[in-house]
Amino acid sequence: MRRWRDEDLDPFAALNADPAVMEHFQKVMTREESAGFIDRIEAEFEECGWGFWAVEVEDGAPFIGFVGLHRVPFQVKSSTAIEVGWRLAQEHWGHGYATEAAERAVRFGYDEAGLLEILSFTNPANVRSWKVMERIGMVRDPSSNFEHPNVPVGHHLRDHIVYRFPERPDGLRRPN
Ligand SMILES: CC(C)(COP(=O)(O)OP(=O)(O)OC[C@H]1O[C@@H](n2cnc3c(N)ncnc32)[C@H](O)[C@@H]1OP(=O)(O)O)[C@@H](O)C(=O)NCCC(=O)NCCS
């Protein structure tokens, strides 16, 4: 998991243009949109010291997608939130890379960045995504279900489910 490099743009634009990867988003992304996304990710790193890390496979593919932390730009259950999120090229699904990287991102968020809560959310049909949430120890919080503010009313992708880490006796939500 590392900061982004110029040579990541080609494979990132390719995965963002893949309808299979973008099945649960409203549309695929152009190369320019992918470049702008990298700029925003890097800006978050500069500001916060963390963000969506570029992911490479040790002794393997130099770039397979991103996994990391992001300040949610809208309120989830009337509070600001930091999410753990992921997006990998389809040829790299099925190896546990998202799970491995997400565990590391969450550890970093809690232990090194001092975050108090990290949550995750997705459309209920995005089973692969919420399976990652469950694999890293998050549990679904139905009381936090919400309608995504950037998705038009009535669109099938508007409904979102939220996953959190279970609450501990000290009141913090962290992996055990
Ligand atoms: C969501 C996404 C990252 C999940 O990828 P994934 O490869 O299914 O997830 P993981 O990396 O955790 O891998 C789990 C799979 O690898 C297998 N696996 C192999 N080795 C493993 C290991 N050491 N540890 C965990 N899983 C392992 C698991 O059995 C599972 O296989 P399955 O698909 O047959 O059930 C991917 O589907 C994606 O990029 N989707 C498009 C973007 C997207 O929707 N992002 C989320 C928006 S909310």
Topology of domain 6-164 in CATH is: Aminopeptidase (3.40.630)
Give 3-state DSSP helix, strand, coil % of the chain, rounded to 5. Answer: 35, 20, 45
* Domain spans of the chain, in order of start: 6-164
What are the C-alpha distances in Å from 52 to residues 3, 85, 140, 176?
8, 8, 22, 23
**Is the pLDDT at 78 greater than 70, yes or no?**
no
To test the pocket of ligand 1, the residue of 34, 57, 128, 131 to mutate (highest count of ligand atoms within 8 Å of its CB) is 128
In the chain, what percentage of residues exceed pLDDT 70? 99
The pLDDT-based confidence of 2 (bands split at 50, 70, 90) is very high
99 lines ligand 1 (CB under 6 A): yes
* Most distant pair of Cα atoms in the chain: their distance: 47
Look up residue 174 and give its amino acid. R
The helix (run of H) or strand (run of E) holding residue 11 is helix 9-16
Count how many residues are written for the chain: 176
pLDDT tens-digit profile of 118-135?
999 999 999 999 999 999
Q: Average pLDDT in the 45-74 region?
A: 96
Stronger pLDDT, 74 or 162, i.e. the higher one = 162
The helix (run of H) or strand (run of E) holding residue 164 is strand 159-164
Q: What is the pTM of this model?
A: 0.96
Nearest residue by C-alpha to atom 14 in ligand 1: 96
**Is the pLDDT at 80 greater than 90, yes or no?**
no
